[in-house]
Structures are given as C-alpha cells and as structure tokens.
Amino acid sequence: MLNVCLVCNALDDEIVSLPGLSKQIQFKQYSGYLNASKGRHYFYWFFECEKDPQNAPVVLWLQGGPGGSSLFGMSTENGPFRFNQNGKTVELAEHSWNSVANVLYLESPSGTGFSYDDNNNYTNTDESTALDNYLSLESFFVKFPQFKKNEFYITGESYAGVYIPMLATNIYQHNSTINLKGVAIGNGLLLDKQGQISFNQSSYDYALAHGLITTDAYEKKIESCCECTAAHGLITTDAYEKKIESCCECTAGAVQHECDFSKAPNITKCKSVQVDTMRLNNPYNIYDDCPLDTNARQVFDTYFRPAFKRIGINYRLKPNNGVNAGPECVKYGTTTYMNTNAVQKALHVRPGSKRWAPIGGPYDRTHAGTPQAETVKQLINTYNIPKLIVYNGDFDTVCNFIGNQRFVTGLGFQTAGHYREWTVDGTSDGVIGGFVQNYEKGLSFVLVRGAGHMVPSNKPEAGLQLLKGLLGLSKL
C-alpha cells in the first residue's frame, strides 16, 4: 500500500499541460514540493531524460546567490524551456541537459522562489541549507523510488561552490543510499584561507590580464599589500617572480606572494590604494555587449561590489538606459511567466505563494561563505567520491578562473597528464571548448573558452559537453 501511495504522489505532481508551450515534448515533467527539515518545503521541477529515463543518471542543479532560484538556471541556462519576453510563450531550447540525464531543479534555500516554511522561519545558514538540501533529496527519492538505483550527480554554479560540497558531505555522513557518483561546480565561490588569498590576488591578476587596470595600478597595489614567502604551491611566470622578488625582498626560487589584503603588513597603506577599472557592461561576462538587467545589477551591487571594494577594486558599470541594447541582447520573460496564475496552477504551486523572483531567498550572511577546501579534500580522500570537476568560464570577473584554478592546485593532488584542450563535441578535430587539467583521484579543473559566469547560457554546447564528461558519456 505504501508503494502505491508513493507512486500516486509522483503522479499528482506530473505537469500535464504547460501554458504557452505549443510544441509537443518527448519527455515527462513534474513539479511540486519536497519536504526538507520540519515545516520546510522545497519547490522542485523535474524533467525526465528524453531517452531511457529509467536508466539515465539523475542530475541535481543548484543555483547560487545565495538565495537564487534554480528555475532561473533552468529557464536561461541548461533546461529544456525558454520563456519569451512576453512572458506567455515557451520555446524549446537546444543542448538541454535533459537530453542526456534526468534533471532536478530545487529552489533552495527555504524562502527562495516558491519554497516556503510553515512557521515563517526563514533563517538560512550554510549548515541549515546543506541539511535541507539533503533532506529534500531523500524526499525526492521517496516520491520517485524508481530512480533511486540510478547514478546521481550534483551540479550548480556560483554560491553552489558552498552548497555542493556541503550537500555531498551530508549524503555521505548520513550513510545515504543515494548513488552519488560525482559533482561539478561552475564558477564557484570556493574559499578557505588560501582560497581567500587567491580571491584577493586573482581579482587583480584577472583585471590586469584583461586590460581592465594598468600595470602601474597593479604593481602599486601588490607592493602596498603583499608579503612573499617560500612556497610549494603556485608556480608563477619568471617575469612575475622577478617582479615580486625585487619588490618584496623574496629569495630566489619559487615564490608565492600572499595577498590577503585584510591582513596586510601595513593595512592602512594597503587600503589607501584603490583601483578603478574600466567601465563594464557585464562583470559576469566582460565581453558581453549587453548591459545588465535590473535584477542582475542589484545582485552585483548587493553581493559582489562590496567584496571587490574590500580588496580595493571598484568595478564601474555602464548604465542600462536601453540605448546600446541591440537585438542580440536576449530578454527572457521568466519572472512574468512564473507569476501567471495559470502557470502556477499547472506547476502545482501552493495557493497564496509570494511573488516569484529569480533571486532574493533569505540568508544569514553572518554565517555564509564557509571555507570548502577541507570539505573538498575530505570528499576525495575520505569518501572517495569518484569524480569532482571545478569549471570556469574565462570571461567572468565575479568568480574568476585564476582564483578557482589556484584553489584546485592548492588542494595538493598530483596532476594526471598535461594541461590540454578539449572540444565541444568530444572529437579530436572538433571546435575547442577550452582547456582541462586532470588530477589524481578523479579531480579536474576545466576552463571553458569564451564563457562568463553562466557557462551553459553563454556556451550551451560546451556546457552540455561538460555534463557528458561528468557523466562519463564523453571525454573532456
């Protein structure tokens, strides 16, 4: 009788007709609520794989923020649907991730999107979110027991650099029967002591390398804030080592200059050097000609601009007055669509839910930004997670590839092979998608060429190839 009830619950969540979708789809989809901790209910949208869903892997996607809705990622990055600007019609997307996997999108944490708490307790921390994410997964596999045997993978971007390692650890710590086989973190916030140093230093390295600041401004900041010590971690270029050695009284040989600007030898001197960069349309993709929309600008101004200012970088953004927004600047109607009564009824949204927004889930920022290096090392060394990929688009200033590559290098694992190119179709003569460095024990760092913070949005074919690499369906 219990199994029958479980199946009924899943059937109750099936989306039988989606408003505005004119083309017939070749897969089943479900949406509704999953139980997290007491009184908390996570909204989900689940898409079965287009081919052989009974045996295809199950992939979870978590948006960043914190407090970003994964439905935003579904509808603009790697899901099967794109909601047109009018907020009424729905198009099918190419390179959808459910072409090779069953894909689950969770609105995490509680209070994000349509997720809610019976007790109106919306205090979310990294620890509570990790537990709620885990409990909602267990709830999902109770509702869909037919997928419990399938391989399971966790993916996401930005603040999911915190969410993903902590969720994976919860799965192992609870001795769950969830068949976790790997994770992929895209343009993630990956910080520990060394990671924080890498963020501080790499932000300047990135700005210099892309012509956003002058060499003079860069050198003045480094000279004012940094110390040098003998190192066994990062390898710098000869010219860079010579400059640091001459300025910072380092001994010859491999050096690492520690640029934790919050702990500079002369903090007053360090803080006095503020650097203005060139104006940008989009700090999430510096070569994007399209200005940020209101929501994206608000996110940057609220969360990322203060972090850059703390280390002395002032990223100036061009105003979004619509003058330079050409036809190539795609605008989606996700917010309008999600707040339509007929759509919410089709998605089984709880009546009386608050207005849906792409970001804005509540979060206790005094308990945020948990360091993840030791957690990642534990996943690899203690729990033997089969595969762990960190990937970055190279046009992103917010979580730049230099800092994340240093994070991976700082984990201390041996390289396996050389840094090399990979192609978007997995063939030897295909279009180069970027570059990859593999390490022992299933660890990889992947650079995605020509992508920004939202890799699957900027480079959908390359993003799908990344997923295939994670799933073992193709070689990166």
Nearest to residue 210, comparing CAs of 260, 282, 122, 270?
282
| 377, 411 contact by CB (below 8 A) | yes
Residue carrying structure tokens 């349309």: 281
Task: Respond yes or no: is residue 132 known to be catalytic.
Answer: no
Q: What is the DSSP string of 107-150?
A: --STTSTT-EETT------HHHHHHHHHHHHHHHHHH-GGGTTS
Q: Which residue type sits at 123?
A: T
| Marked catalytic residue, from 192, 396, 457, 474 | 396
Q: Which helix (H) or strand (E) holds 33?
A: strand 29-35
| Marked catalytic residue, from 158, 198, 203, 457 | 158
| 168, 175 contact by CB (below 8 A) | no
In the 8-state DSSP scheme, what is residue 14? B
CA–CA separation, 289 and 323 (whole Å): 12
- Neighbouring residues of 129: CB distance < 8 A, sequence distance ≥ 6: 66, 108, 109, 163, 166
Q: Structure tokens of 336?
A: 């309008």
| Helices 238-248, 215-225: inter-axial angle, 10-degree rounding | 50
Q: Which residue type sits at 428?
A: S
Q: Which residue type sits at 420?
A: R
CA–CA separation, 204 and 471 (whole Å): 35
Task: Respond yes or no: is residue 37 known to be catalytic.
Answer: no
CA–CA separation, 12 and 31 (whole Å): 9
Residue carrying structure tokens 């990135």: 206
Regarding beta strands 387-393 and 443-448, do their DSSP bridges make them parallel or antiparallel, or are they unpaired?
parallel
Residue carrying structure tokens 């703390």: 310
CA–CA separation, 81 and 47 (whole Å): 11
| Marked catalytic residue, from 69, 453, 457, 474 | 453
Q: Which helix (H) or strand (E) holds 151?
A: none
Residue carrying structure tokens 């060429």: 449
Task: Respond yes or no: is residue 52 known to be catalytic.
Answer: no
Taking residue 245's Cβ as centre, other Cβ atoms within 10 Å add up to: 16
| 203, 403 contact by CB (below 8 A) | yes
| 378, 169 contact by CB (below 8 A) | yes
CA–CA separation, 476 and 474 (whole Å): 7
CA–CA separation, 443 and 115 (whole Å): 33
Q: Which residue type sits at 126?
A: D
Catalytic positions, written as ranges: 158, 396, 453
